[in-house]
Amino acid sequence: MPAEATSPVSDLLSAETPSLVLDEARMLRNIARLRDRLAHFNVVLRPHMKTAKSVEVARRQLTDGHGPATVSTLKEAEALFAAGVTDILYAVGLAPQRLGRVQALRAAGCDLAIILDTPAQARAVVAASAEGAIPVLLEIDSDGHRSGLRPDDPALVAIGQILVTGGANLRGVVTHAGESYSVLGHDALAAFAEQERAAAVAAAEALRAAGLPCPVVSVGSTPTAHFARDLTGVTEVRAGVYVFFDLVMAGLGVCDLDDIALSVLTTVIGHQPDRGWVIVDAGWMAMSRDRGTADQPVDQGYGVVCDVAGRALTDLIMLRANQEHGVIAMRPGSDATLPDLPIGTRLRILPNHACATGAQFDGYEVALAQGGPLAHWPRFRGW
Amino acid sequence: MPAEATSPVSDLLSAETPSLVLDEARMLRNIARLRDRLAHFNVVLRPHMKTAKSVEVARRQLTDGHGPATVSTLKEAEALFAAGVTDILYAVGLAPQRLGRVQALRAAGCDLAIILDTPAQARAVVAASAEGAIPVLLEIDSDGHRSGLRPDDPALVAIGQILVTGGANLRGVVTHAGESYSVLGHDALAAFAEQERAAAVAAAEALRAAGLPCPVVSVGSTPTAHFARDLTGVTEVRAGVYVFFDLVMAGLGVCDLDDIALSVLTTVIGHQPDRGWVIVDAGWMAMSRDRGTADQPVDQGYGVVCDVAGRALTDLIMLRANQEHGVIAMRPGSDATLPDLPIGTRLRILPNHACATGAQFDGYEVALAQGGPLAHWPRFRGW
């Protein structure tokens, strides 16, 4: 059967384990879903490249290949710029010593913007802007999650004035409702999206009221991007994990299990029948230590177990993980029967958190939407 | 001050962040400590390379540079063999499809031994041993941690017979008291070490009583290696994280904070004064998601915060971590005062788990024991 011999499932039966499997058809469906949703609002989608860290994935996310894109490290910016992406927002608060790399990218033709929320950072940007005005977005805190200024903080206008007076380019405001990962249900997520929108728009209005420019109003997280009902005043939306989805997103109700495009291929290497355990060769070095579902109503352990074709096996999860060992078992309380999984059986594990699991690997083994043998897409890493 | 200009601390003030800093003097002290301790017992130390994944570190752990060594992946075995290490135990239960790589290493001159605990794996080894007898250690379960056969399981002798009859090379037994990571105090750790020793020796005696060979009796974990009081019948001890130590080991009482040789260098990028937070540019992508101290009496969050010279700052920990953001704050309940840490301040974070944090980086920035500028030692990764 020559067709069978080059199918992804056939390839997965002979691939090295553990390896990171990407289902391109699911990914394309996820990309289209958010693109189509945001087409109903008058906003730009600026996908976050921190999830996939892949040129091949970026090409499928970015409409024209040049952007707009969001990154979490300058390494991502440098790798994507080398691949033709020219409109990039570096969405982590500036460490002043990075301004040299920022200016080097800008001098090479990348429209790289940065974010900050303190006068000290603004003064560093002003000093560096002598070589060319650096575009800056002011970071707004919409939910107490981590960084940013509250929209009514007088420091917001003061920092804006430092930038404008000093010759930097004040481009707008940016916020991320990271706490949206901890609320459940469509109405609660929609309320969070409104909180995010309102904070960003209020900050933009405060800047404008002080005579400062604020062309960009950037909001976003995967949950709020999928459940926002009103984006008035917003110019762009950012989202990252939407491209692959994961068990945390499924637990929040943002996606279903069969939307999750990423899984870890593993091999059965042992059994402890007295304990109902199957031992596999994917431990936390493959899955990551992320236990993002631990605080959700359904704790998925280190991941949901699927057969090699990607079909979830009832109530089977990775209960424990050591560095190179995973312990597969029935979910506590389940009355389903542990399936027979002989030594050498291939399984696929859906991850808690796609960003964290992806980072454990140097690349993807891709089941292409068009069919045919698995492709290999490299990932970049580091800072 | 030219001397100052090339000192490690001076280099750390200009290094990229986040980066992985290794204090070689502390590491050499940790290596000497376990070597000296085991010199009092008639056993070989077979260090586990899964912690450092570094040729330079291995050269400092391995007495003559050729071994003995333990690995958790064939990638580690291949990288170390290329660097001259020839006596290697691959201490994760065999996935049968890996036998080709095992035999390729052996054919090239590497004395690579494998472990297993099922008849199916033994039959696969027998089939592959037609090209050359593969040395096998049988995995023993001494504490219910994950894999292995109980010493009194009749399958132990049955599997040994499959191997010997089939022309493989039954080299011995191996066990790892992984549950020793969950007990506290020197007496409890010594009791665990005795449980580990007794299980391995009982398994060896069962094999010998059946007329099977068992020259090697291999035990070990970092906690038990440091607290074993009797190693009668044991021929070798394995340990991994002892080379760097970490907060989990400090929490168990195996080491002190100032024995920890690994830290993550980071830069302050923000403040939330109302919440008592300092934001740094090392998140879980740098620290890993490992929260190994969460269940210990003192929860260290994502790590203990030190100044750039490596001195721990009283009660300051990384409370939360996002992908590229860490939130530094006083330990809950502390009455110490949050120090002034302006934007751009460099800090070093001691990790919960050295194996997990190390894996987030491509290499070490090394403060050499001899002084002088930082050295860069690469790490290997993957499977």
How many CB atoms are located within 10 Å of the residue A190 CB?
17
How far apart are the CA of B203 and the nearest CA of chain A, in angstroms?
Answer: 17
Give yes or no for residue A360 having a pLDDT over 80.
Answer: yes
Q: How near does any CA of chain B get to the CA of A363, in Å?
A: 10
Is the pLDDT score of B68 beyond 90? yes
What is d(CA A195, CA A173) in angstroms, rounded to the nearest whole number? 15
CA atoms of A23 and A27, how far apart (whole Å): 6
pLDDT per residue over B256-297, tens digit each?
Answer: 999 999 999 999 999 999 999 999 999 999 999 999 999 999
- DSSP label of A149: B
Which comes out higher in pLDDT, residue B183 or B210?
B210
Handedness of CA A186, A187, A188, A190 (dihedral sign): positive
Q: How confident is the model at residue A7 (pLDDT cuts 50, 70, 90)?
A: low
3 state DSSP class of B3: helix
Residue B185 CB coordination number (10 Å)? 11
For residue B2, name the pLDDT band (cuts at 50, 70, 90): very low
Q: What is the mean pLDDT of residues A54-70?
A: 95
Q: How high is the pLDDT of residue A234?
A: 98
Q: Two tokens at B280?
A: 């740094």
Q: Closest Cα to residue B267, out of B345, B350, B351, B365?
A: B345
Q: Which residues of A touch B147 (CB under 8 A)?
A: 269-270, 272, 279, 325
The percent of residues above 70 in pLDDT, for chain A, comes to 98
What rounded mean pLDDT belongs to chain B?
Answer: 95
Instruction: Give the mutation candidate from B121, B138, B323, B379 for the A interface (greatest A CB count, under 10 A).
Output: B323
Least CB-CB distance to B342: which of A120, A267, A275?
A120
Using alpha carbons, select from A13, A4, A19, A20 the residue that is nearest to residue A344: A13
pLDDT for the residue numbered B9: 84
pLDDT of residue B7: 67
Helix (H, G, I), strand (E, B) or coil at A46: strand
Tell which residue, A357, A177, A289, has the closest CA to residue B302: A289
Write the pLDDT tens digit of every residue in A126-146: 999 998 999 999 999 999 889
Candidates B92, B270, B284; nearest CB to A324: B92
pLDDT in tens, B146-164: 999 999 999 999 999 999 9
- CA distances, B20 to each of A46, B52, B75, B76, B327 (Å): 31, 12, 21, 20, 18
Q: Strand pairing partners for A264?
A: A20, A349
Contact criterion met (CB < 8 Å) for B284 and A272: no
For residue B145, name the pLDDT band (cuts at 50, 70, 90): confident
Q: DSSP assignment, residue B181?
A: G
Q: Do A97 and B381 touch (CB under 8 A)?
A: no
Write the residue in B120, B323, B343 that is nearest to A50 by C-beta: B323
Beta-sheet pairing, A44-47 with A19-23: unpaired
Whether A14 contacts A206, CB under 8 Å: no
Outline where B65-135 has alpha helix (H). Answer: 74-82, 99-107, 119-128
C-alpha B55/C-alpha B44 separation (Å) is 20
Residues 6+ apart with CB under 8 A from A95: B17, B267, B269, B281, B344
Backbone angles phi, psi at B32, to 5 degrees: -65, -35
Burial class (CB within 10 angstroms; exposed 0-12, middle 13-18, buried 19+) of B337:
exposed
The DSSP letter of residue A133 is P
Letter for the amino acid at B332? P
Residue A243 has pLDDT above 90, yes or no: yes
CA distances from A235 to A45, A150, A193, A206, A231 (A): 9, 19, 14, 16, 8
Please tell me the distance from the alpha carbon of residue A53 to that of residue B251, in angstroms, as a whole number: 35
In 3D space, the residue among A79, A74, A107, A78 whose CA is nearest the CA of residue A91 turns out to be A74
Q: Are B303 and B317 in contact (CB under 8 A)?
A: yes
In this prediction, residues A32-41 reach a mean pLDDT of: 96
Q: Is A248 helix (H, G, I), strand (E, B) or coil?
A: helix
Q: Chain B partners of A127 at a C-beta cutoff of 8 Å?
A: none
End-to-end CA distance of chain A: 46
Contact check, Cβ <8 Å, A93/B361: no
Half-sphere exposure of A311 (CA within 13 A, CB side): 4
Give the per-residue pLDDT at B64.
Answer: 85
Of A146, A267, A284, the CB nearest to B279: A146
CA B343 to chain A, closest CA, distance in angstroms equals 7
Token readout for A311 is 């079909």
Tell me how far apart the alpha carbons of residues A340 and B377 are, in angstroms, rounded to a whole number. Answer: 45
State how far the Cα of A339 lies from the Cα of A343, in Å rounded to an integer: 13
Residues from chain B contacting residue A353 (CB–CB below 8 Å):
289
| Under 8 Å between Cβ of A105 and A112 | yes
Res B5: pLDDT: 44
Name which of A335, A329, A189 is nearest A271 in CA terms.
Answer: A329
The residue assigned the tokens 């297993």 is B116
Distance of CA B262 to the CA centre of its chain: 12
Give the pLDDT confidence of B161-189 residue by residue, as tens digits. Answer: 999 999 999 999 999 988 888 888 889 99
Contact indicator for A60, A32 with CB cutoff of 8 Å: no
CA–CA distance, B182 with B320 (Å, rounded to integer):
23
**Which of B151, B87, B88 has its CA nearest to residue B117?**
B151
CA distances from A221 to A189, A240, A352 (A): 11, 7, 17
Identify the residue whose tokens are 């690995």.
Answer: B71
List CB contacts of A44: < 8 A, sequence separation 6 or more. Answer: A68, A235, A236, A237
CB neighbours of residue B336 within 10 Å: 11
- In what side-by-side order are the strands of the sheet with B87-90? B44-47, B236-239, B216-219, B169-175, B135-140, B111-116, B87-90, B69-71
Percent of chain A whose pLDDT exceeds 90: 92
For B349, half-sphere exposure in the C-beta direction (CA atoms, 13 angstrom radius) is 38
Of A257, A264, A267, A338, which is closest to residue A300 (Cα–Cα)? A257
Closest CA to A361 of B209, B37, B73, B12: B73
Peptide bond into A68 cis (omega under 30): yes
Which amino acid, residue B33? R
SS3 at position B356:
helix
Mutation site, B117, B147, B221, B355, interface A, largest A CB count within 10 A: B147
Residue B226, token pair as written in the block:
């440091």
Residue B365 pairs in a beta bridge with B21, B376
Q: What is the pTM of this model?
A: 0.96
Token couple for A21: 């499997």
Higher pLDDT, B9 or B215: B215
User: B117 vs A270: CB contact, 8 Å cut-off?
Assistant: yes
How confident is residue A180, by pLDDT bands cut at 50, 70 and 90?
confident
**pLDDT value, residue A221:** 94
Over residues A270-311, the pLDDT tens digits come to 999 999 999 999 999 999 999 999 999 999 999 999 999 999
| Amino acid at the residue A329 | A
Which of these, A205, A226, A175, A201, lies nearest to A37 by C-alpha position? Answer: A226
Pairing of strands A87-90, B87-90: unpaired
Residues of A with CB below 8 A from B361's CB? 382
Q: Is A118 close to B270, i.e. CB distance below 8 A?
A: yes
Q: Are B140 and B199 a contacting pair, CB within 8 Å?
A: yes
Which amino acid, residue A65?
G
| Cβ contact A117:A139 at 8 Å | yes
Helix (H, G, I), strand (E, B) or coil at A264: strand
pLDDT band at B3 (very low <50, low <70, confident <90, very high): very low
- Is residue A341 over pLDDT 70? yes
pLDDT given for residue B214 in this prediction? 98
Structure-block tokens of residue B31: 């290596």
Chain B nearest-CA residue for A291? B289
Phi first, then psi: give them for residue A144, nearest 5 degrees: 70, 15
Q: Is the pLDDT of residue A27 over 80?
A: yes
B interface test, pick of A11, A71, A271, A289 with most B CB neighbours within 10 Å: A289
The verdict on a CB contact (< 8 Å) between A97 and B19 is no
pLDDT digits (tens, 9 = 90+) for A76-126: 999 999 999 999 999 999 999 999 999 999 999 999 999 999 999 999 999
Residue A251 CA to residue A185 CA, distance in Å, equals 9
